[in-house]
Structure 1
Amino acid sequence: MKPPKRRSLWWRVHSWAGLKLSIFLTFILATGTLAVFAHEIDWLVTPAMRVTPQDRPLASWGAIAQAAARAEPEGRLQTLHAPIDPWFAVEAWVDMGKGAPRRVYVDPWEAQVTGTHGWANVHRFLRQVHRHLMLPTKIGIPIVSSLAFLLLASLVTGIVTYKKWWRGFLRLPRGGDARRFQGELHRLAGVWSLWFVALMTLTGIWYLVETLGGRAPVPELPRLAVTSAPVTGPALDRLVATVRAAKPTLSIREIRFTPDNGVIFLGQDRAWLVRERANGVAVDPATGRVTAMLDGRDLSVHQRISEMADPLHFGTFGGLTTKIIWFLAGALLTGLSVTGMLIYARRIQRADRVEGGGVRIAWAGMGLWAYVSIAAVILALALTPGAIGGAS
């Protein structure tokens, strides 16, 4: 018997990687794609998040914080988040003493509360189910992140089996035969999504490394004995003025009222492609003294990789433009998972003259992995109410 050709071996690996866990992979890819616009979906379904942009200066952070604190007098103001776009309200998180925080939305121009909402929302669901399947993070993240190796296998074997793949960018699918059309469409989508598959592979492996102990060190802030309630109104505005004097290039996107480190102002500065937590100023609310300053340009290589991972994974670094690109690329990758499964079914159907529908044949080809994938999806959905319910 002749040994199998190298291309045949690569193709077998490509088929296995794309088929056995295709249900689970499609679920993770689809939820991740939707997660790119999770905030926008929440904006559509939550009237309190919607405001009308006005042609005048925004209200002060102090006035906004005061409005949020008054909306939930029994709670403790925890965090303020600046609007991600002009038509979004400011989002405040209020600690109610037990359970998850409650969300309070404030008009950034009027400094008036537009409504309140519990912790559970579309963003929370999509983020947690995509990141760790509603399981404890030490269990769920390694399971989901391990799919990066499946993407890596598909990427490498796809390039090897598709001879002269660089010519395929403008090769449109031909009609006539359904099997040929699906195959050529799969290859066309594949070459256009190569960069995205590589990016998702790298960030996915990085998340796995972090979970297994490779997390980058987080800067330690001086500990303070903060016993008073979070500062609001003019007192907070004075702290904002102190921060702007100390770090005038900082665009404040988040304010944390912590019991141990004072008031922490975070946002974007001169460092590119980092999360907002990489730049900031910590202030002692009792004295108004700056206790620490964070600059994304001072990060080590290890820390910089950690801060780059989320912006690159979800495409948030360039605003609405990059989010649209990432959403379309994610939809393309999700479609690749589905078409790959159908191509396998048609190939088996034609080669072995197997009767039955494509989905039925693909299900049989998955074997035990089909039941494992379905079980993982059902488990994640069953755990959802308890995982994201929190405060009502």
Structure 2
Amino acid sequence: MGKAHAKKGRSLWWVVHSWIGLKLSIFLTFILATGTLAVFAHEIDWLVTPSMRVSPRPEPIASWGALADAVTRAAPQARLQTLYAPIDPWFAAEAWVSLGKGAPERIFVDPWTAEVTGRHGWANVHRFLRQVHRHLMLPTKIGIPLVSSLALLLMLSLISGIVTYKKWWRGFFRAPRGGDTRRLTGDLHRLIGLWSLWFVALIALTGVWYLVETLGGNAQVPELPQVAAGTPPVGARLDRLVAIARRSDPKLDIREIRFTPEHGVILLGQSSAWLVRDRANGAAIDPATQRVIARLDGRNLSVHQRLSEMADPLHFGTFGGLWTKVIWFLFGAALTAMAVTGTVIYATRLTKIARLDANGWKLAWRGMGIWAYIGIALVLMALALTPGAIGGAS
């Protein structure tokens, strides 16, 4: 009785696992693939945008003030919004400037010579992958819940895969068997799944968190005092503000400077708190009085706020630089491959059951039913919306 009940339970979980893997395979594969590529979106932009590439030098880099001054001289008619430190030594520094209407423009500056290397529009590979993966180019109130809901199904797929794989803990070092496509693909699917358990759980949990935030559970953002708007400080004026910010937190590694019209100059980066976004640490300074009007310290965040700040570094693997991004990319590619191999398993299984020379892929397509058309429609819709969406605000 007990064995029969357990077998029935596994069969039910198998139905759940197969339904998710087959019905949603097109949409799920697209989201997983774009998320995997998004890990290296900046690097892809670096490859296709010559002005982002610089040659590292042994001498010290130019000051923040010198970089900002170069930007304002290159675009005197624009307002400097944000200035970013280079992602890696071979990257240029990047500034966002507003021309008064429309999307910002990007200006790249050599961090050693403080010379502008080029200008670029708002649309780029990073912007495309970020928006298509996050909300399918739809309004965020619609797109984020739609994409994030896949995290719940990913978690169900994880649980059902473990339940249906008898004595799964013995399979970590079990070599895939040959013989036929179904057996080889099935063994590869299970092997990749086992080694990716931690990664699937992490992506699913952070995806669920994004869903919670969108549905009203977002953490409170610290309110900053308002100060009178003024011309963004550059040159020596900005360097003085940088020195003040560093005195207020000697461990602050400034990665981003925001020139806001209502909260002064906000200098953000990494400090004592680990595994948080740059915005969790920093100082807001009134450029008129050179007074620190607010301090941001990631160590003082509430549990709710800390979860919010941890989500992005964990989801995209950016917290450890290039090495963690390589790991996240490889496991993301493996997870995408699992979505594909799941469909292959189903196709070959149907062919065997039919005992015919029927095309397994046609049978799999038929098995997807209306969900195949929904998946393709969502992908095509996102691509169709891209030209207008990636030219909008961030």
- What interval of TM-score do these two structures reach, taking the shorter chain for normalisation? over 0.9
Q: Which residue of 2 aligns with 1:69?
A: 72
Comparing 251-260 with 356-365, greater Cα deviation is found at 356-365
Q: What CA distance in whole angstroms lies between the structure 1 residues aligned with 2:177 and 2:354?
A: 25
Comparing 168-177 with 2-11, greater Cα deviation is found at 2-11
| CA shift for structure 1 position 166 | 1.1
Q: What CA distance in whole angstroms lies between the structure 2 residues aligned with 1:99 and 1:76?
A: 13
| 1:22 corresponds to 2:31 | no
Q: TM-score, normalised by structure 1?
A: 0.98
Residue correspondence of structure 1 range 237-316 to structure 2 within 5 A: 237-316=239-318
Residue correspondence of structure 1 range 314-325 to structure 2 within 5 A: 314-325=316-327
Q: Which residue of 2 aligns with 1:115?
A: 118
Secondary structure, in 3 states, of the residue corresponding to 1:159? Answer: helix
Show CA shifts across 1:283-318 (max 9, x none): 000010111100000000000000000000000000
Identify unmatched segments of 5+ residues in structure 1.
Answer: none
Q: What CA distance in whole angstroms lies between the structure 1 residues aligned with 2:60 and 2:27?
A: 48
In the alignment, is the contact (CA less than 8 A) between 2:80 and 2:98 conserved in 1?
A: yes
Amino acid in the other structure paired with 1:294? L
Q: CA RMSD in A?
A: 1.2
From 114, 131, 135, the equivalent of 2:134 is: 131
Q: What CA distance in whole angstroms lies between the structure 2 residues aligned with 1:376 and 1:390?
A: 20
In the alignment, is the contact (CA less than 8 A) between 1:118 and 1:390 conserved in 2?
A: no
| 1:60 corresponds to 2:63 | yes
Q: What CA distance in whole angstroms lies between the structure 2 residues aligned with 1:64 and 1:198?
A: 42
From 176, 181, 188, the equivalent of 2:179 is: 176
| CA shift for structure 1 position 267 | 0.1
Identify unmatched segments of 5+ residues in structure 2.
Answer: none
In the alignment, is the contact (CA less than 8 A) between 2:14 and 2:160 conserved in 1?
A: yes
Q: What CA distance in whole angstroms lies between the structure 1 residues aligned with 2:87 and 2:367?
A: 45
| 1:44 corresponds to 2:38 | no
| CA shift for structure 1 position 359 | 2.2
Report runs of 4+ in structure 1 exceeding 3 Å deviation. Answer: none
From 141, 144, 150, the equivalent of 1:141 is: 144
| 1:189 corresponds to 2:192 | yes
Q: TM-score, normalised by structure 2?
A: 0.97
Show CA shifts across 1:320-354 (max 9, x none): 01000000000000000000011011111111335
Q: What CA distance in whole angstroms lies between the structure 1 residues aligned with 2:361 and 2:326?
A: 31
Show CA shifts across 1:262-291 (max 9, x none): 000000000000000000101000010111
In the alignment, is the contact (CA less than 8 A) between 1:284 and 1:291 conserved in 2?
A: yes
Q: What CA distance in whole angstroms lies between the structure 2 residues aligned with 1:285 and 1:158?
A: 57
Q: What CA distance in whole angstroms lies between the structure 1 residues aligned with 2:360 and 2:202?
A: 31
Amino acid in the other structure paired with 2:222? P
In the alignment, is the contact (CA less than 8 A) between 1:79 and 1:257 conserved in 2?
A: yes
Q: Which residue of 1 aligns with 2:100?
A: 97
Q: Which residue of 2 aligns with 1:7?
A: 10
Q: Which residue of 1 aligns with 2:378?
A: 376
Secondary structure, in 3 states, of the residue corresponding to 2:97? Answer: strand
Q: What CA distance in whole angstroms lies between the structure 2 residues aligned with 1:211 and 1:353?
A: 48
Secondary structure, in 3 states, of the residue corresponding to 2:228? Answer: coil
From 347, 350, 357, the equivalent of 1:348 is: 350
Amino acid in the other structure paired with 1:59? A
Show CA shifts across 1:111-135 (max 9, x none): 0000000000000000000000000
Number of residue pairs aligned between Structure 1 and Structure 2? 389
Q: What CA distance in whole angstroms lies between the structure 2 residues aligned with 1:332 and 1:255?
A: 36
